[in-house]
Amino acid sequence: MFWDKDKNYSKRKASEFNAWRTFLQILVCKYFYGIRLKFVYRIEVHGLENVPKDNAYIVCPNHLSTLDPPMLAAVFPRRISFMAKKELFDIPFIRWWLDWLGAFAVNRESLGPSTIKTVMEIKKSSWVFGIFPQGTRGEYGTITSVTKGFAGLAKITKCAVLPVGVIGTQEVKKWPFSGKIIVRIGKPIPYSDNTDEVVEKWIDAIQELTGFKYIPQSEEEKI
């Protein structure tokens, strides 16, 4: 069961966000990663009061490293189901690990119907959906490669977009108190039929929360 190569890892049902996956994410992220975050990275979290009490929101952080998903799962009050690129589910152990931590596979080139259905199923559960609007890891100090998919999913699912600014995860640290991570949670951005407006508000919020500079795609090509 744990190594089912034929399973469609892009599809999730609300029932799959069960007690076992909840327990595993809490154990791995809040406890194992939590110790590392506290004693190695001296993590600071600001703005938890901005997190809605229900689960009608999408966690939308900037993206710096592979540490971001478990770190965010550690600090948020609800469990988070993040997208992961489908290629990772071709690797047996990683496939099992991501599956049981609640992640699901996605084709980053095209968010198909299965993605929309899965996000709707997450909303039916007690979990929340998480997506990195940049699509891939960015360079420290800049906000690049922002896509509109998150705003479209917010519109379809009638979920607010919760901007989260992440600073400091790009540096791998091993020694106690050698790192510094700051997480700033902004105020929810209501979903809208105007997805361009939601994208602009997210970019503005992340710039304010991180101090990073947004670089439009036209300027990215010149770098």
- The residue with tokens 């602009």 is 200
Per-residue pLDDT reduced to its tens digit, 47-62:
999 999 999 999 999 9
User: What DSSP line would sit under 100-155, residue for residue?
Assistant: HTT-EEE-TT---HHHHHHHHHHHHSS-EEE--TTSS---TTEE----SHHHHHHH
Per-residue pLDDT reduced to its tens digit, 166-198:
999 999 899 999 999 999 999 999 999 999 999
Per-residue pLDDT reduced to its tens digit, 107-126:
766 667 888 999 999 999 99
pTM equals 0.92
Q: Are 166 and 210 in contact (CB under 8 A)?
A: yes
